[in-house]
Amino acid sequence: MFALNNEIVSLTSEKLRSKFGEELLSEETIMDMPAYTFKKECIADVLRFLYDDETLKYRFLTDLCGIHYPDNELQFGVIYHLHSMENNQRIRLKVFAALNDINVPTATTVFKGANWMERETFDFYGIVFTGHPNLERILNVADMDYFPMRKEYPLEDGTREDKNDDFFGR
C-alpha cells in the first residue's frame, strides 16, 4: 500500500476544485490512490497546472494507458498516474471520450515521456491525442486496420466450433 500524504491530498483536491471547478467531474480515493475525473478538453491544462504548482509538484508521469468500457456512453478512457516525488504522493487522473469524438489533448507538451505511452494507447484503442508530434502505431504493424485492445475484439476466434469455451474466460 502506498502511504497517503493527507495534507498534500487535501491540498491537491482543494486546488483542483478551485482552479477547474466544473471541469473536475468527480473525485474519490480508490484504495490507496486519490483519483480525479476531468472533462477531456482540459487535461493538458490540468497536467501543466499540477506540474507548475510550487507545493504540489506532480512532475513525474508514471504511467499513461487507455481503457475501454463499451457499455458507457463515453466509452474510452485515458488514465494518468502522476507522482509528486518530493511529497511522495501519487494520484490518478482520468478522462473519458465518446467513440464519435475520440480525441484527447496530448500530454507531450508537459512530459516528453508521454510520447510513446500515447502512441501505445493510440495503437491499441484508437484514441487520438491532438497535438501529438508523431502519432503512429508503435507495437503493431503500421497497416493494421483495427484497434485490438477494444473489447469488441475477442482474444480468440469466436467462430470456432471445435472448442467449448463456456467454462473458461470471460
Partner 1 sequence: MKEKLQNKIDTSDIAGAEVHEFVTLNVGPTHPATHGVFQNVMTMDGEYIVDAKQTIGYIHRAFEKIAERRAYYQILPLTDRLNYCSSPINNMGWHMTVEKLLGIEIPKRVQYMRVIIMELARIADHNVCNSVVGVDTGALTGFTYMFQEREKIYEIFEEICGSRLTTSIGRIGGFERNWGDRAWTKLRAFMKSHPARLKEFEALLTRNRIFLDRTIDVGPISAEQALNYGFTGPNLRAAGVDYDVRVANPYCSYEDFDFIVPVGTHGDTHDRFSVREAEMWESMSIINQAIAKLDAMEDKSTFNADSDEFVLPAKEKVYNNMEALIFHFKQVMGETAVPPGEIYSAVEGANGELGFYVVSDGGRTPYRVHFRRPCFIYYQAYPEMIKGSLLSDAIITMSSMNVIAGELDA
Pairing label, strands 89-97, 103-105: unpaired
Tell me if 160 contacts partner 1 by CB under 8 A: no
Burial of 32 (0-12, 13-18, 19+ CB in 10 A): exposed
Count CA within 13 A, CB hemisphere, residue 36.
Answer: 26
Tell me if 148 contacts partner 1 by CB under 8 A: yes
Q: Which stretch binds partner 1 (CB under 8 A): 10-18, 29-37, 39-47, 97-105?
A: 29-37
Total binding residues toward partner 1, as defined by CB under 8 A: 42
Tell me if 79 contacts partner 1 by CB under 8 A: yes
Residue from 6, 22, 26, 30 touching partner 1 (CB under 8 A): that is 30
Residue from 43, 61, 82, 93 touching partner 1 (CB under 8 A): that is 61
Decide if 47 contacts 53 (C-beta within 8 A): no
Tell me if 74 contacts partner 1 by CB under 8 A: no
Burial of 158 (0-12, 13-18, 19+ CB in 10 A): exposed
Residue from 116, 126, 128, 131 touching partner 1 (CB under 8 A): that is 116
Tell me if 52 contacts partner 1 by CB under 8 A: no
Tell me if 102 contacts partner 1 by CB under 8 A: no
Decide if 24 contacts 38 (C-beta within 8 A): yes
Beta bridge partners of 81: 63, 92
Residue 85 cell numbers, joined: 516525488
Nearer to partner 1, 27 or 41 (CB): 27
Tell me if 107 contacts partner 1 by CB under 8 A: no
- Strand ranges in the chain using DSSP code E only, listed in sequence order: 24-30, 33-38, 60-68, 76-84, 89-97, 103-105, 128-130
Site of interaction with partner 1 (CB under 8 A): 1-3, 30-31, 33, 35, 59-63, 65, 67-68, 79, 81, 85, 88, 90, 92, 111-117, 120, 124, 138-141, 148-149, 155-156, 167-170
